Amino acid sequence: MTELIEDLAAIVGAANVLTGRDTARWDRDWTGHYTGAPLAVVRPANRDEVSAVLRVAHGRDLPVVPVSGNTGLNGGALGSGAIMLSVERMNRIREIRPEARVAVVDAGVIVDALNVAAEEQGLIFPLAFGASGSAMIGGVLSTNAGGANVLRYGNTRDLCLGVEVVLADGRVLDLMQALHKNNSGFDLRDLVIGAEGQLGIITAAVMKLQPRPAERVTAMVAMTQLDRAPDLLNALQDATGGAVVAFEFMPRAFVEGHFEVDPKAREPFDAPHEVNLLVELAAARPGTLGAVLEEVLSEWFETGGVSDAVIAQNEAQRSEMWARREAAAEIAFRREPALDTDIAVPIDRVADYLRDIEPRLRAVDPRCDVLSVAHLGDGNIHYTCYPSANEPGLIAALRAEIDSLAVEMNGTFSAEHGVGISKLAPMARFKDPVALQVMREIKKALDPKGILNPGKTLPVAVEGEI
């Protein structure tokens, strides 16, 4: 151990090799569900130091777990007994090129910091979610994070043009071209994005930027029936030429949960409603989005589809609306035990899913409680179940129901948070066995010793499995 620490310190400096109590910040994930002490935490400053650290680990067959902002919810950055490689010192925005609308950044750049830098150039980095003040580029690429703006801008993969990756043996894979078209062989960039550090450690990226909206309209909308929400989304898209940026669903229980985590929170409407939507429209040029939104909502109000609406009149009111939605993680984890899931179904099946899942859960645990919130525009539901007892078997049975119904509806058990540890069972149960085989073969080809983030993402193959 002493020799290892000395070798690592020779690469990154003694102050950047942490052991013992100094690793406490990395001993648990944000949820607190996954805990374990790493062998050491190493904080390199650049790609070459990452490469040297991996050569040391590879030579000793030591596991390496990359960690960015440590904001994950599935145990993907648990580093028990491993070298944890933190990219937090790799926080340089190398350049912003307004003409090409790209930013070249290190993996440790915080999402909000990139957005602030982009705004100074009249642009934005449109990835938006509750943890954007601490989540880092390397982490959001490794999980292919989504968030509230996927409807307009896509997932993180859609916002990335190039990556720089250090492989398990220390070799550097340079894919940093800022190209929108590049058909020169296999798309290794997209292979690495979303791989949760299984194939290499992302050290830098070329990220797309977007024009800063000249007009933005945000509203809370109450509907009489959730199953009509996709029609409202389509009406807004048609009327605005596709200007809908966010279309989020918050049921009444979620709104009440927000009151518990934020005593200063206010009701979104004068009267409570069961179906509460957060809608945001944006355009690069100033125009009439507000008037169009009012016109569409007025038509829907007359036909009974919409029961109430409040349009933000200033940035303070807009921020208040978004604060409710962005408090989702705090609301979901305000009670324990909490089974947090991240499923997605076709957007026209969201209402069906929320109607059908609760009876199935009650059949397993009559005293369980539930909470949901959804990126309704892309069908992603964050469904939380509160079991009546903190029993692993009961929790596994409840999770199986949540995941099974999503798959039955031609959806997925893993939408935007990654697999990590918590979704290994559904990966083994629902993922196409040939797909799992191919993933394992790719993993073996790039990381034959299996040192990169072991025990995550890919379930262990059972005897006789393809």
Q: Is residue 295 in some structural domain?
A: yes
* Average pLDDT value for residue range 79-97: 97
**Which pLDDT does position 462 carry in this prediction?**
62
Q: How far apart, in whole angstroms, are the C-alpha atoms of residue 170 and residue 400?
A: 39
Sign of the alpha-carbon dihedral angle for 109, 323, 146, 148: negative
Residue position matching structure tokens 């950055």: 77
* Average pLDDT value for residue range 304-321: 97
**Which pLDDT does position 398 carry in this prediction?**
98
Cα dihedral 69, 73, 75, 78 in deg (nearest 10): 20
* Average pLDDT value for residue range 325-341: 95
State percent of the chain over pLDDT 70: 99
* Same structural domain, 40 and 13: yes
Q: Is residue 191 in some structural domain?
A: yes
**Which pLDDT does position 465 carry in this prediction?**
53
Domain with 272 in it: 215-329
Cα dihedral 63, 64, 69, 71 in deg (nearest 10): -30
* Same structural domain, 169 and 230: no
Each residue's pLDDT tens digit, 392-435: 999 999 999 999 999 999 999 999 999 999 999 999 999 999 99
Q: Is residue 442 in some structural domain?
A: no
Residue that terminates a domain, selected from 329, 349, 371? 329
Phi, psi of 267 (to 5 degrees): -65, 140
A 10 A CB-CB count for 91 gives 16
* Same structural domain, 124 and 199: yes
* Same structural domain, 318 and 231: yes
Burial class (CB in 10 A: 0-12, 13-18, 19+), 278: buried
**Which pLDDT does position 415 carry in this prediction?**
95
Cα separation values, 275 from 268, 310, 418, Å:
11, 14, 28
* Same structural domain, 139 and 171: yes
pLDDT at 466 over 50: no
Each residue's pLDDT tens digit, 341-377: 999 999 999 999 999 999 999 999 999 999 999 999 9
Cα dihedral 18, 23, 29, 33 in deg (nearest 10): 140
What letters, b where the CB count within 10 A reaches 16 and e where it falls short, cover 41-73?
A: bbbbbebebbbbbbbbbbeeebbbbbbbbbbbb
Q: For residue 38, what is the domain's CATH number? A: 3.30.43.10
Q: Is residue 125 in some structural domain?
A: yes
Chain centre to alpha carbon of residue 21: 29
* Average pLDDT value for residue range 187-197: 97
Q: Is residue 436 in some structural domain?
A: no
Q: Is residue 444 in some structural domain?
A: no
Count of domains observed in the chain = 4
Confidence tier at 73 by pLDDT (50, 70, 90) = confident
pLDDT at 303 over 70: yes
Q: For residue 204, what is the domain's CATH number? A: 3.30.465.10
* Same structural domain, 51 and 82: yes
Residue that terminates a domain, selected from 211, 243, 267? 211
| Residue 230 tokens, joined | 């996709």
pLDDT at 464 over 60: no
* Same structural domain, 48 and 111: no
State percent of the chain over pLDDT 90: 94
Each residue's pLDDT tens digit, 124-163: 999 999 899 999 999 999 999 999 999 999 999 999 999 9
Confidence tier at 31 by pLDDT (50, 70, 90) = confident
